[in-house]
Amino acid sequence: MNKELFKKIISKKEFSQLPKKDILLAFEKFDKPFYSDEEKIKLTRNLLRKVYSAFTSKKILSLKNKSEEWILRKHLSTRERLPYYEEIYKRILKSFENKKLNIIDLGAGINGFSYKKMIKSFSSLHQTPTSPHKIISIKNEKNPINYTAIEAIGQLVELMNYYFKKENLKNAGAIHLSLFEIGKIKKIVSGLKRPRIIFLFKVLDSLEMLERDYSKKLLLQIAPLVDRIVISFATESMIKRKKFKVKRNWILNFVRDNFIVIDDFEFHGERFIVFSVFK
């Protein structure tokens, strides 16, 4: 790809810290002789906007000393989920009581800001009638969740790491990497202790926009390395103020045909499917 065109595409702040690989994948779609350079730039940016930045308010692209809730409200996905986080995490994590978990959040956006909610929900599962106050401290070594976020937008990675450091959350970290770098993702996952749980919340559609059937490839390669995968997608879409039900039969059938579905539930327009290669 022509260096000048590349520079022009990333001169917008929202694309300035995207992995090169993702920009090239988007550009390839429009690198055709019948488009002018201006059109190639415009079409590539439009696609990148749909895949990466459409959900994020520009207000969080620079570091901010704001509360978790403030940040979680500035991203469409986390905002919609905000009232239901604890119920969702309890349901996903319930069969792992009393274990130390590794959660790897692929295409995390800013979901790392819900890390404390994850710990709170998980530690409430450990409570018994005889020890109702046994809430595990997030900062001590007994903290039962190691959390790794992987995200393409560099600014969101910086924002999460800044927050983890400020709050002294030693078991949480974010990595700037594209999910198209499958070898690197597998290496990171394999380096973590089991049980390993993968989150892919509202991400598969984005991957499909750049490479058709890439979600299937990713799931087939990652699933044997982990104990659970949790995918989610929006069940309703708002176009011109009309709500319509979104069907995701392609992914539902694929998951049913290749894995063991452990749970399938919906909270306020977001459907979660929990599955594994093992029982």
Q: For tokens 């790809």, name the residue.
A: 1
CB of 156 to ligand SAM, least distance (A): 6
CB of 38 to ligand SAM, least distance (A): 25
Between residue 219 and residue 278, which ones bind ligand SAM under the rule CB under 6 A?
A: none
CB of 93 to ligand SAM, least distance (A): 16
Between residue 102 and residue 131, which ones bind ligand SAM under the rule CB under 6 A?
A: 107-109, 111
CB of 166 to ligand SAM, least distance (A): 20
By CB under 6 A, tell whether 52 contacts ligand SAM: yes
Between residue 70 and residue 89, which ones bind ligand SAM under the rule CB under 6 A?
A: 77-78
By CB under 6 A, tell whether 15 contacts ligand SAM: no
CB of 279 to ligand SAM, least distance (A): 27
By CB under 6 A, tell whether 179 contacts ligand SAM: yes
Nearer to ligand SAM, 136 or 269 (CB): 269
Nearer to ligand SAM, 89 or 201 (CB): 201
By CB under 6 A, tell whether 144 contacts ligand SAM: no
By CB under 6 A, tell whether 14 contacts ligand SAM: no
